[in-house]
Amino acid sequence: MPARTHEGEALTQLILETFQLNGTMLEAGNRITEPYGLTSARWQVMGAVQLANQPLTVAQIARRMGLARQGVQRIVKDLIQLEMVFTEPNLDHKRSPLISLTKSGNEVLANIDKDQAKWVNRLADGLSNRQINAALKTLKIVRERSEESGSA
């Protein structure tokens, strides 16, 4: 079994911290979205549609967010019941309807955005743009290399 380099060991620690951070961020997202009847997962799906600024299929949402298609399908069904999204026919693929935000969905996202801004500004207090951008650059490189390499 090959030993990790010093850089490999440091990156392993970064990866483990990222796993812990992911759980913490999901919990925080749940706290932010709970007053609106949403969860982090529902917010993430709605955010993908909002960010695209156009209707998306379930498969497109899943790919953009790195989620399982089946999970996104279940979340979309929940969001339809909550009247946050609606489906419309997809002329390019009859079995894959397009998902759009409702007026209510857009309003809820606007309110969540205000709450998230307050929360994230508190988190950013005392951190410099340089620190944040360095962390972002490192995480982006690690993600891209991991995507390129496929499996371990």
- Note the pLDDT of residue 77: 97
Domain-located, residue 2: no
How much is the pLDDT for 140? 94
In a domain, 3, yes or no: no
Domain assignment of residue 151, yes or no = no
The predicted structure's pLDDT at residue 19: 95
Segments of the chain scoring below 70 in pLDDT = 151-152
86 found inside a domain: yes
Looking at the structure of the chain, the number of domains it has is: 1
Query: Residue 64: which domain range?
Result: 14-146
Evaluate whether residue 4 is within a structural domain. Answer: no
Answer whether residue 128 is part of any domain. Answer: yes
| Domain annotation covers residue 56 | yes
- Cα of 64 vs its chain's centroid, Å: 9
CATH of residue 42's domain is: 1.10.10.10
- Specify the pTM: 0.85
Q: What is the DSSP string of 59-105?
A: HHHHHHHT--HHHHHHHHHHHHHTTSEEEE--TT-TTS-EEEE-HHH
pLDDT at 66: 86
What is the pLDDT, as a whole number, of residue 152?
A: 59
SS3 letters for 110-125?
HHHHHHHHHHHHHHHC
pLDDT tens sequence across 36-55: 999 999 999 999 999 999 99
Supply the DSSP symbol for 53: T
In the block, tokens 């371990």 appear at 152
Taking the C-alpha atoms of residue 120 and residue 82, their distance in angstroms, rounded to an integer, is 27
The verdict on residue 6 lying in a domain is no
Residue 147: the pLDDT is: 85
